[in-house]
Amino acid sequence: MTATFPEQSVAVLFSGGDAPGMNAFLRAVVRLGLNREKIAVLGIRDGYRGLVRTARAVNDDAEALVRLKNDIATHTGRAGLISEQLHIIQMDHASVSGIMGKGGTILGSARCLEFHDKKVRDSVIKLLKSLNVRALVVVGGDGSLTGARLLAQESDLRVIGVPATIDNDLQFTDMALGVDTAVNTLVWAVDHFIDTARSHRRVMVLETMGRASGDLARMAGLASGAEMIITPEGGPLNEEAMKKLAAKIEGAMTRGRGHAIVLVAEGVEFDPPQKRNRAYVLMDAFQQYFQRAGAPFQDLEVRPSVLGHLQRGGHTTPGDCILAARFADHAWKTIQQPDGGSGITALRGNVVEIVPYGEPDMPERAAYSREMELLHDALSSW
């Protein structure tokens, strides 16, 4: 039987940094499309870059477009996934089986500077329309959703954005995909560092991800029992501020505390600016303070660690899997509404809704962050 290209489809791509829950979302959006909506789902390999490369390969060539459609129709599911030349894959049930808990994304993700060029975006829009794509779902962080907004503004395609970033720096939603798993990973890491910290009476300074947001560090600090959280929202750290932080640790140790875990978010800045990782800058400042003349703990050791991309990987938590399914469900409902339009899925007060591109920050997010810091201070005092 000759393979036929779908008369209509929805395309999905993952862009920017990977986040746990992306595979769970892919499974959900594919299964809902096939089982409930009866619409084909095209998976785009390597995000916007995959679209750009495919558009360039077709390049207004009618025969090239026919070959592309034939390749997509004949190399479906896993056959398409293992093909290094095919960037657009018609997904099937088997292709998303067993991937829900896996970190990363089986479709791959990439950054694409070429996508900033409007002519390139125009070629991508033309490609999507020629492939009978009625809607595009873009999963990623701030930069990825900016690209989605441009496509929505410059075409009549319905473009649905889905927030996925462990930084949780998208202030229009309570949570993004990947945050819950990253917090769990950080708690796991703190648990391991505590063993050494307690054994040797040490101060461990652990640098988390989070860009300009301190949410990841705050949530991990509350969940792990870390003694100190330092976030960008507190402003740049100067020498005097770092001395006060060290004095707080020293004071707790004079009252019986035997170690300290300090979480510092990667977005924290210093005055004057520093080029080194935050954990190492704080190590030097703390060590200098502890070793001053007459100090009670001159032999107190400070050890830094930059946790880095460890926080992006690992088995996806049930919380992120559930959120992925809810985001996929609402994305499909919006796509199927005659007047649904474009927008971004957002979790607000445990309700998933669609918000427009450019939605202002929720003031509740800033208030919640401040509340978490005050709560942590009260819990960690000794």
Q: What is the pLDDT of residues 263-281, one digit of tens each?
A: 999 999 999 999 999 999 9
pLDDT of residue 124: 97
Whole-angstrom Cα distance, residue 110 to residue 213? 23
pLDDT of residue 1: 42
List the catalytic residue out of 46, 71, 167, 320.
167
Asked whether the CA dihedral 202, 231, 210, 345 is positive or negative, the reply is: positive
Same fold, 9-177+316-360 and 182-312: yes
User: Structure tokens of 124?
Assistant: 């991508």
Q: Does residue 2 surpass a pLDDT of 80? A: no
Instruction: Note whether 249 and 286 are within 8 A (CB).
Output: yes
- Within 10 A of 132 (CB to CB), how many other CB atoms are there? 15
Whole-angstrom Cα distance, residue 367 to residue 320? 24
Could you write out the DSSP letters of every residue in 42-57? EEETTHHHHHHHHHHH
Instruction: Note whether 97 and 32 are within 8 A (CB).
Output: no
pLDDT of residue 210: 93
The pair phi, psi for residue 101, each rounded to 5°, is -85, -5
Percentage of the chain surpassing pLDDT 70? 99
**How distant, in Å, are the alpha carbons of 3, 45, 56, 137, 381 from that of 255?**
74, 56, 67, 54, 10
Mean pLDDT of the chain: 95
Q: Does residue 158 surpass a pLDDT of 70? A: yes
pLDDT of residue 85: 86
Average pLDDT over residues 315-344: 96
The residue among 24, 17, 177 whose CA lies nearest residue 96 is 24
Whole-angstrom Cα distance, residue 291 to residue 62? 74
Query: How many Cα atoms occupy the beta-carbon half-sphere of 207 within 13 Å?
Result: 19
Instruction: Note whether 13 and 164 are within 8 A (CB).
Output: no
Whole-angstrom Cα distance, residue 181 to residue 193? 19
Average pLDDT over residues 85-93: 95
Domains of the chain: which residue ranges? 9-177+316-360, 182-312
Helix (H) / strand (E) containing 205: strand 202-208
pLDDT band at 382 (very low <50, low <70, confident <90, very high): confident
pLDDT band at 319 (very low <50, low <70, confident <90, very high): very high
Whole-angstrom Cα distance, residue 117 to residue 176? 28
pLDDT of residue 355: 97
Whole-angstrom Cα distance, residue 128 to residue 134? 8
Does 167 qualify as catalytic in the annotation? yes
Whole-angstrom Cα distance, residue 354 to residue 87? 28
The amino acid sitting at 29 is V
Whole-angstrom Cα distance, residue 214 to residue 366? 11
Any idea what the Cα angle at residue 79 is, between residues 74 and 85, rounded to 5°?
85
Any idea what the Cα angle at residue 231 is, between residues 226 and 232, rounded to 5°?
170
Contacts of 355 (CB under 8 A, 6+ apart): 172, 173, 343, 344, 346
pLDDT band at 110 (very low <50, low <70, confident <90, very high): confident
Whole-angstrom Cα distance, residue 257 to residue 251? 9
Average pLDDT over residues 39-60: 95
What SS3 class is residue 12? strand
User: Structure tokens of 170?
Assistant: 């998208």
pLDDT, tens digit, 9 for 90 and up, residues 194-233: 999 999 999 999 999 998 999 999 999 999 999 999 999 9
Q: Which CATH class is domain 9-177+316-360?
A: alpha beta
User: What is the DSSP code (8-state) at residue 32?
Assistant: I
Domain 182-312 sits in CATH at 3.40.50.460
Strand partners of residue 203: 260, 302
